[in-house]
Every structure is written in structure tokens, then in C-alpha cells.
Amino acid sequence: MAIDWTTDTAVVGVVGAGAMGRGIAQVAAQGGLSVLLHDAAPGAAERGRGMIAELIEGSVRKGRLSEADGKAAQSRLRVVDGLEDLAPADAVIEAVVEDLEVKRELFRRLEGIVRPDAILASNTSSIRIASIAAACKGRGRVAGMHFFNPVPIMKLVEVIRAPATAPAVVNALTVLGKRMGRVPVSVSDSPGFLVNLGNRSFSTEALRIATEGVATPAQIDAILKDAAGFRMGPFELMDLTGIDVNFPAARIMYEGYFHDRRLATWPLHESMAESGQLGRKTGGGWYSYDAEGKLVPQPTDTISKAPAARRVFVPEPDLPLVALLQNAGAEIAPSDDGTMPLIAAPVGEDASTFAHRLGLDSKRLVCLDLTGNPAKRVTIMCPPGADRAISDAIVTLLSHAGAKITRIKDSPGFVTQRVIAMIGNLGCEMAQIGIASPADIDLAMKLGLNYPAGSLEFIDWLGGAERSHQILSQVQAITGDDRYRPSLWLRRRALLRLPIHTPD
């Protein structure tokens, strides 16, 4: 495409004046582009322009935009009544209803209106670009340009290449995205594209843990926020987006990847959707909300009034574990006297497996997860039949170190190890099948989802490819579930002890 997006004469058409269309039109105008805004509903585009003007003027009042730049941006935005008025556009971005036939008909009409070298892009979040392009004769100029809501705030844009999309179109949209002040990442046409697919493990593994009765949604959220640094827990996030939105999205991606177990959601998720408990929008989902929409807190911490344990034995000495126990005031015994607490920090195993493997007295075993930031929260678990008095004594001991304590039921990989390893594994799989480059995968997760690290970066956060592979292999062996099979990208780098970002 010979479009020069650096000039003041470049024109972008936007079809759809809803929240996404308005946001796209706003950042295009603020990026110095002439914008033609159209909506099929009478008066909708004009109302959209008024709302954009209010947002721009608000940015001027807050000092985020100069008065001159604000007026210039508004002057570049023009409402047009018919699709035929989009003829001068160098590119048209549609942001209409998520209906394949509606989009196909729109693209058929646009193809006959704009010039042959103009780009046709869809802001769809769920429909294959190839399916939309099938309606066009010139499929090479059709691509995806998936923005995130709210567009003026969310910097990421996915530039999606269908099998027939010309490389020049991808390059042109990448330049256009930068002109609009966004950060473009190149993504192959696939179910969920990059960000929506990459976010699957965060919610579905949390749902699996809750389904197993290992921990409550509130406990899982607290663990992942404190130990792993997420701004919101998976259940809080599902309530925010709406379970009527995230449950169908999970099913679409599971179906789209032909029932890959790594993408499966759970009946508990469907039950919430069917019951109408959809999250904040209905006043209740995984959490309850007050009349002002504020979350009603649920208990997450474990409190014990038992005397603190003073002397413990560590069957498999681990420096961070020993340091934590000593900092809390415990003496590490050189051998087991048959009565003292047995403390361990297993990787990928549950407490039962750990006790069986080492031939330990399971009644005295207390396992701790120190993954992430144990200064904020430590997760503990014990095998079935464990002596509650012993675990209570360890809870009291650990509270002396200042950390919050969450007691969960026995689980391979605790909570943090399981969820983070699954996020990292899915990132590796996306790199393996070429959805995007490892660097773009990491960037997209941080910009599109506010993750504290990128998907592949989480592999390093867990301790590297070998440790992450160990966690997944252990969980797969214990559960017998193919869901936890390591990606070949991860497996090869673990076996060869290579950094996770090592290219093929």
C-alpha cells in the first residue's frame, strides 16, 4: 500500500459511532488524521462527534492536551451521512455489531465505494478476519485492527493478518496505529487473536482450582494479587467484564481450538451465567456488591491463636524456606524427632504426593508456597488427615514474619504455581504456533491486560523454563489431565536449559 500516513492529507473512515468507534475516531483525529465518521442509525454519528468533543475538551481542561491541539483534533473530525461519503478514505475501520453477516455485507458495499488500494479493517474482537474477508473480491486488503476499550486510554492495538492479507497492508496498519498514538502488535488470524486468547488461563485455571474446592474465589484473588502482583484477581475481573461476556468468549475459543484442554472452562462458570449472576452489572456474581456498586469483602486470611511452633524440621532444605522460618523465630532442627512439624515448599506437587515420595508422617506435614512475594502472603496446605494443631502453630509462627496467611486444601502446585505456569505455558504455545512473536506476546499481555509481566516473562518469574516445566509436568502426572501438558516451546527450552525467549 502506497499510503503515506505521515501527511496531513491522510484520511481514515470509521463506521460505527458506539463506544469503540468513537474511541477510534478520537485517537485518529488527535493523531493528526482526517476522520470521516459514519453510523447507519440516524443522528448517531452526530451524537458521537459531540461525545468525542466533550472528551477532547476534558483532556484540555486537565492539561493532557493543549487548547490548540484540542481544537485542531475536533476540526479534523467530520460526520458523513452515507457509506458513499467514505470514498476518499485511505483506510476504513469498522466498529459495528459483532455479527458476521452484518460485517460481510458492510465490507461488500465498502469494496465498491473506496478506491482499489484503500484498506478495509475490522475492529472485531471475536470473528475471524478470514471469515469477513470472504465477502470481498480483493481479500488482500482486508485485515483486523483490534483496539481495546476505552480506546483513548488503552494503548494496544492488534494488527491481525488473515491468510490472504497482503504484507504491505499489515505494514501500513502498523504505521497507522503508531500515528494514532497506539502500540501495534502483529497477530495471526486465530480464535481470540492474541490478548483474549492469552487471558484464558488466568480465569480458567482459577475456576478449575475453585471447582476442586481447593480455595474460594476470594482466597484465589487475594493470593494472586499479593503473591503475583495482579491488580485484580481473576474472579474480580470476571465480575467486572460480566460473566455473560467471558463465559461465551471462553466457549468460542475452546471450540475454535477444537477442544484443546488447556482452554477449557468449567461447569461452575456456566452455572453462574445460567443463573443470571453476571457480576457487577447484576449486583452479584462471584462477589456481592452494595448499592453503590462497591465489592463486599469476603474473608481470605487464616488466623490462629495457637502457640507458635518453635522447632521444625525441613525434609528438603530450601534456602528461601529456611530463611523465612528463621526470620519468623523458628529453630531448624538437624533431624526429625518424630513429633515436631515437618515443613516443605514443594514444586508442582501436592502435600500428599510429597509425603508419599519421602515417606513422611503426613499428619505433621505443612507445605508452604513461597512463589512470588511471601512477604505479602504465604499459602499453606496440608495432606488430608493432618493434625490441625500443628498447622495452626505454623500459621501463628508465620504471622510473626508479617505476612498474611491463606490456608487452602491440598493441591498440586498450590494456587500461584498452577495459575502462573498455565499463563506462561499458553504464552509459549502462542509463540510455538506463530500467533505473534514472543516479544509482542509479552507486550500485549502487559498493555492489553495490565499483567505484571508478559506471558513468557512469567516463565522466568517462576524460576525459568526448567522449573515451569517441572510444575506443569508434576500437575499433569498427579491429575492425569492433558490440560497441563507443557508446550513444545517450553519443553525444548527446559530440556536444553535455554532462556524462554530463545528463538527457533
Query: Mind listing the pLDDT tens digit for each residue in 366-400?
Result: 999 999 999 999 999 999 999 999 999 999 999 98
Determine phi and psi for 97, rounding to 5 degrees: -55, 145
3-state secondary structure 178-213: HHCCCEEEEEECCCCCCHHHHCHHHHHHHHHHHHCC
Helix%, strand%, coil% for the chain, nearest 5? 45, 15, 40
Q: Which domains are assigned to the chain?
A: 11-189 (3.40.50.720), 197-282 (1.10.1040.50), 311-407 (3.40.50.720)
Q: Which pLDDT score, from 0 to 100, does residue 409 have?
A: 98
Q: Is the pLDDT of residue 233 over 90?
A: yes
pLDDT of residue 293: 85
DSSP 246-262: HHHHHHHHHHHTTS-GG
491 — phi, psi (to 5°)?
-60, -45
DSSP state of 283: T
Could you read off the pLDDT of 307-360 as tens digits, one per residue? 999 999 999 998 999 999 999 999 999 999 999 999 999 999 999 999 999 999
What pLDDT digit, counting tens, does each position of 455-498 carry? Answer: 999 999 999 999 999 999 999 999 999 999 999 999 999 999 99
Given a cut of 60, is residue 1 above it in pLDDT? no
87 phi and psi, to 5 degrees? -55, -35
pLDDT at 402: 86
Task: Average the pLDDT over 31-51 and give the result.
Answer: 97
3-state DSSP assignment of residue 77: strand
Distance CA 315, CA 394 (A): 16
Contact 330, 312 (CB under 8 A): yes
* pLDDT above 70 (res 117): yes
pLDDT of residue 2: 60
**For residue range 189-223, what is the model confidence (pLDDT) as tens digits?**
999 999 999 999 999 999 999 999 999 999 999 99
CA nearest neighbour of 31 among 45, 14, 43, 19 = 14
Q: What is the mean pLDDT of the chain?
A: 96
Residue with cell 524460576: 463
Taking each helix axis as running N to C, give the angle between helix 44-61 and helix 19-30, from 0 to 180 degrees, rounded to the nearest 10: 50
Beta carbons within 8 Å of 437's beta carbon, 6+ residues apart: 186, 431
The residues carrying an active-site annotation are 125, 146, 158, 196
